[in-house]
Amino acid sequence: MAQKGFNPFEMAQKQFDKVADLLDLDQPTRDLLRQPMREYHFSIPVRMDDGSVRIFRGFRCQHNDARGPCKGGIRFHPQETIDTVRALSMWMTWKTAVVDIPLGGGKGGVICDPHDLSPREQERLCRGYIRAIAHDVGPLRDVPAPDVMTNPQHMLWMLDEFETIHGAKYPGFITGKPVGLGGSLGRTEATGYGLIYTVREALTEMGLKIAQTTASVQGFGNVAQYAIQLYTKLGGKVIAVACWDQADQTSYTYKKKTGVNLEELLAITDRFGTIDKAKAEALGYERLPGEAWIEQDVDILLPCALENQINAETVQKIKPRVKLIAEGANGPTTLEADEVIQKRGIFVIPDFLANAGGVTCSYFEQVQCNMNYFWTKEEVLQKLDEKMTAAFKAVSELARNRKLYMRDAAYVISVSRVANACKERGWV
């Protein structure tokens, strides 16, 4: 989890301010892009299975829609805050811009722990969330998607509620739906695969063969699992995986020098993403403290869990051998850590470029829903590879030509695209 006192929105604003100075942006544009254009706070009453009523707090932020409808996930998390949602909506604006898809940035959240709710209670919460904002979202305004602790079933309940309220079919309203009910093939793999497409390109530029590299991964959710799958398929070796342990309410790193076997770990992982400690040790995995993932003597670090994981303190633990950090998570690296990483010459693929495969495939899902014609999985992943590769090359080229840190180069491309759209519309 993020440390107490850490504010992701303040970090997102500081990152933006740095690039605004680089671009010499005028004050009105800075003022417009530093804050969400709209945000909604609402209460969601839910009738629980025992007959009692609980009130949940919900949020939706629409950071900027100059380039198209807002786009962004809905998170269910007991520690959800409006500042996290604000930061993520801002990062979504840059994310959709860096891969050049015609969408803006949005994000939503509910303070809750779905592990403590029955499926019926979760359905009522999903429908209540949509009822609260049904007239402020939609396929042409703001398109939600799954995020932390939400899934395709939650999206389908939300879609059904939206269609019931508006009395028509709107399959393009929400993405991350089940395949066969408007979902896209390839969406499950998209974020993890997109991450490794950028890693592949970075290693090529660095003159390294993927088969000769090793990696350490933080996280064992959707992004991490598919990143591990494709990375190992291309010949790379993951030697350590850190994941949350639901029972102990802490995280552990599971290490195997001969390489992590994804299939055997998945076989001993429960629905909360917790790896069975005893079974892992029986399979020859060494169990280390959660933060040990960052201390591994590897070529590549893949933070694929939460924000604020590579900070002023933990960055000092990164081994000299590390050449590449590819951010599968949102906001895993703080500004203080960035300074150290930049001085050490470690190549960074910033979060809103590295993990943009998810929103890119969500965009593909929207396109397919709107034209009512669906592509094969191979077509989806091919288009995803092309989009991610083109975006990576544009950022990398700018970084080289202007001697910029990769994160700054990605921001320069994104912010200038959004700022130009605002100017051309006559907003500033």
Whether 343 is catalytic? no
**For residues 369 and 219, what is the distance between their CA atoms, to the nearest angstrom?**
31
**How far is residue 166 from each of residues 15, 60, 140, 145, measured CA to CA in Å?**
39, 20, 14, 19
* 4 burial level (CB within 10 Å; 0-12, 13-18, 19+): exposed
Sequence-distant (6+) residues with CB within 8 A of 310 are 294, 301, 303, 318, 325, 332, 333, 334, 337, 341
State the distance between the two ends of the chain, measured CA to CA, in whole angstroms: 38
C-beta separation of 406 from 349 below 8 A: yes
φ, ψ at 289 (rounded to 5°):
-60, 155
Per the residue annotation, which of 95, 107, 177, 255 is the catalytic one?
107
**For residues 301 and 275, what is the distance between their CA atoms, to the nearest angstrom?**
20
Task: Give, to the nearest 10 degrees, the angle between helix 8-23 and helix 82-98.
Answer: 40
Of residues 62, 56, 63, 55, the one with CA closest to residue 13: 63
**For residues 259 and 280, what is the distance between their CA atoms, to the nearest angstrom?**
13
Residues serving a catalytic function are 107
